[in-house]
A and B are shown apart, each in its own frame.
Chain A
Amino acid sequence: MTALQEPTALQFECETGNYHTFCPISCVAWLYQKIEDSFFLVIGTKTCGYFLQNAMGVMIFAEPRYAMAELEEGDISAQLNDYEELKRLCLQIKRDRNPSVIVWIGTCTTEIIKMDLEGLAPKLESEIGIPIVTARANGLDYAFTQGEDTVLAAMAHKCPKTVKEEGEKEERNAIQKLLNFGRKTEDVSQEESEYADHPPLVLFGSLPDPVVTNLTLELKKQGVKISGWLPSKRYTELPVIDEGYYVSGVNPFLSRTATTLMRRRKCKLIGAPFPIGPDGTRAWIEKICSVFGIQPQGLEEREAKIWESLEDYIKLIRGKSVFFMGDNLLEVSLARFLIRCGMSCPEIGIPYMDKRYQKAELDFLEKTCQEMGVPLPKIVEKPDNYNQIQRIYELKPDLVITGMAHANPLEARGINTKWSVEFTFAQIHGFTNARDILELATRPLRRNNNLKELGWEKLVKEEAKV
Chain B
Amino acid sequence: MKLAYWMYAGPAHIGTLRIASSFKNVHAIMHAPLGDDYFNVMRSMLERERDFTPVTASIVDRNVLARGSQEKVVDNIVRKDGEEQPDLIVLTPTCTSSILQEDLSNFVDRAQMDAKGDVMLADVNHYRFNELQAADRTLHQIVKFYLEKAQKKGQLPTGKTEKPSVNIIGISTLGFHNQHDCTELKRLMADLGIEVNEVIPESASVHNLKNLTQAWFNLVPYRELGLATARYLEEQFGTPYVDITPMGVVETARCIRQIQQIINSQGAEVDYEEFIKEQTLYVSQAAWFSRSIDCQNLTGKKAVVFGDNTHAAAMTKILAREMGIRVVLAGTYCKYDGEWFTEQVSEYCDEVLISDDNAQIGDAIARLEPSAIFGTQMERHVGKRLDIPCGVIASPIHIQNFPIGYKPFCGYEGTNQITDLIYNSFTLGMEDHLLEIFGGHDTKEVITKGISADSDLNWNKEAQTELNKVPGFVRGKVKRNTEKFARERGFSEITLEVMYAAKEAVGA
Contact = CB atoms under 8 A, between A and B. Distances in A.
Contacts of B59: 17-18
Contact of A386 (B51, B83, B127): B83
A72 B126 CA distance: 10
B41 A404 contact: yes
A140 B60 contact: yes
A298 to B, nearest CB: 34
Contacts of B48: 408
A331 to B, nearest CB: 16
Interface stretch (A104-112, A175-183, A210-218, A246-254): A104-112
A405 B14 CA distance: 15
Contact of A20 (B40, B62, B94, B99): B40
B6 A72 contact: no
Interface in A123-179: 138-144
Contacts of B127: 72-73, 76
Contacts of B94: 47
B13 interface: yes
A140 B60 CA distance: 6
Range class of the A interface residue count: 35 or more
A194 interface: no
B50 A404 contact: no
A386 B3 CA distance: 38
A456 interface: no
A61 interface: yes
A405 B21 CA distance: 14
A50 B50 contact: no
Interface in B1-19: 1-7, 10-11, 13-14
Interface string B95-107: 1100110000000
B41 A403 contact: yes
B95 A412 contact: no
Interface in A410-435: 412
A49 B94 CA distance: 14
A24 interface: yes
Interface residues of B, number: 54
Chain A CB within 10 Å — which of B6, B41, B56 has the most?
Answer: B41
B11 A46 contact: yes
B95 A46 contact: yes
Nearest to A24: B35
Contacts of A108: 33, 60, 95-96
Contacts of B35: 21-25, 51, 139, 143-144
B44 interface: yes
Given A76-B127, A143-B35, A85 B44 contact: no
Interface of A: 17-25, 43, 45-47, 49-51, 53-55, 57, 60-61, 64, 67-73, 75-76, 80, 85-86, 88-89, 92-93, 108-109, 111-113, 138-144, 386, 389, 403-409, 412, 459-460, 465
Report the 4 A-B pairs with minimum CB-CB distance, sorted nearest first. A23-B35, A139-B33, A405-B40, A412-B50
Given A21-B34, A409-B53, 17 more contacts: A17-B61, A20-B40, A22-B38, A46-B95, A46-B130, A55-B38, A60-B6, A68-B2, A71-B1, A72-B1, A108-B95, A139-B32, A405-B40, A406-B44, A408-B50, A409-B50, A460-B51
10 contacts: A18-B57, A18-B76, A19-B34, A22-B38, A46-B126, A46-B130, A54-B41, A69-B3, A70-B1, A409-B51
